[in-house]
Amino acid sequence: MKHVLPFIFLIYVSTINAGGVYQEPDAFIAEVFNDNVPKPGVIWLDKDIKAQLKDILGHNYKGLRVRYWQQDDRTAWILDEIGKDKPITTGIVINQGRIERVRILVFRESRGWEVRHSFFTEQFDDATLKQNRELDRGIDNISGATLSVRAVTRLARVALLLDQQLNKPRAG
């Protein structure tokens, strides 16, 4: 029993310290663009885009616009989605309509922090959005982190959708 208590304490302490800021959003953007950060752009959310976002998220998107950074065919997005109770801030890079990188920047939940690890985020590499706004691949769940997995997966779909909107021909 005396050997079990330190182990339980370590698990408890690591769970408490699991959440937090893993990378500041500004540092993520600087890293993505090798410190040559382009001026941010804004995509305004019209009725059609809001309806598509609601379909992906399962709730209305808060806000009228989304900020992004673009250089050539690469876009970077900083997006938030609720895991269980609190937002998960995620940085997502899209390159030519495919996910290049997903990184958990800030995790505020008490559970599900395992989504920050590369074994999870690398599943999104090269993913695209199908016609039905689903990813072109399945994303493996993490036991005990189901809500966080779902939140990050929704954000990946949102980033791909928004990137597509930037490349849509405009009527005019």
For residues 166 and 43, give the distance between their C-alpha atoms in angstroms, rounded to a whole number: 8
Q: What is the pLDDT of residues 49-93, one digit of tens each?
A: 999 999 999 999 989 999 999 999 999 999 999 999 999 999 999
Helices (H), the chain: 4-16, 25-32, 47-57, 118-121, 146-166
pLDDT tens for each residue of 92-123: 999 999 999 999 999 999 999 999 999 999 99
Structure confidence by residue, pLDDT tens digits, 9-20: 444 444 444 679
- Give the rounded percent of residues in the chain with a pLDDT score beyond 70: 87
pTM for the predicted model, two decimal places: 0.87
Q: Residues for the chain: how many in total?
A: 172
